[in-house]
Amino acid sequence: MTARINRRKQADMSPTQFESFRTEMRKLRKATGLTLSGLADLLDTTQSHLSNIENGKRQPSEELARDIADVFDVSLEDMFVSAKERFVEQCKEAGRELLLKRTSRGFSINQVAGFLGIPREAYLNYEHGEGMLTNGLKEAADLLFAETTRVETVEVIKEVEVEKEVTAPSPIGLDTISKVLDHVADMNISVDEKRALFRKLSEVKMAMLEAKLFG
């Protein structure tokens, strides 16, 4: 099979596609713990042939390229997408999901930004797909959208006009803050992130209680 592969016409990949392909090939091989020798055995080809592909010295045949993708259970088209392009698309998808959740719950941008304790423009960037929320912020946002409805919070939510920095207490209700605090320990984030989020939410809750008690 080796001779058959080596004498076939190389796959018609553009330089960008080939760069993405060989980068993904190396990344997937290492992620699965395969050596070049082990991968060569699976594909019935030679280690040197695969090494030339990974090092950008030679394109694989179309047949071998598809066989490589099959070994890693991905499509050939996926291997043409660079990690950077994949991250950009993931950011856009996450932004669309944030927008859908926020609008379906009836929250304004200012309300969600205020609850998360980040500037309005920073939150807008996330909705526009320009980056992704950190694990701590994503956990807090997910709990906010899951635990509240417009009907439940309409009486306690106050619109906070935020320019560049969010300094006012959260516009979300005390009950919601309490629910999020109860879930902090179970969040899939680091201990330091849990502590920071707990302190932030505790400060917000105290500020809201003071405002309610003393005006």
7-27: average pLDDT: 79
62-68: average pLDDT: 92
Q: What is the pTM of this model?
A: 0.45
pLDDT of 186 reads 66
Q: Reduced to 3 states, what is the DSSP secondary structure of residue 10?
A: strand
List the domains of the chain with CATH numbers.
Answer: 2-81 (1.10.260.40), 84-214 (no CATH)
Cα dihedral 151→170→197→210 (10° resolution): -110
pLDDT of 173 reads 61
Mean pLDDT for the chain overall: 76
Q: Is 71 exposed, middle or buried (0-12, 13-18, 19+ CB in 10 A)?
A: middle
pLDDT digits (tens, 9 = 90+) for 46-59: 999 999 999 999 99
112-125: average pLDDT: 87
**What's 169's DSSP letter?**
P
pLDDT of 202 reads 75
The pLDDT of residue 42 is above 70: yes
CB 193 within 8 A of CB 134: yes
CB 114 within 8 A of CB 141: no
pLDDT of 157 reads 37
pLDDT band at 215 (very low <50, low <70, confident <90, very high): low
CB 102 within 8 A of CB 109: yes
Q: Residues near 199 by Cβ (< 8 Å), separated by ≥ 6?
A: none
CA distance 20 to 11: 14
Look at residues 30, 50, 31 and name the one whose alpha carbon lies nearest to residue 40: 50
Identify which has the larger pLDDT, 161 or 181: 181
* H-assigned helices in 106-131: 109-116, 120-127
CA distance 72 to 23: 13
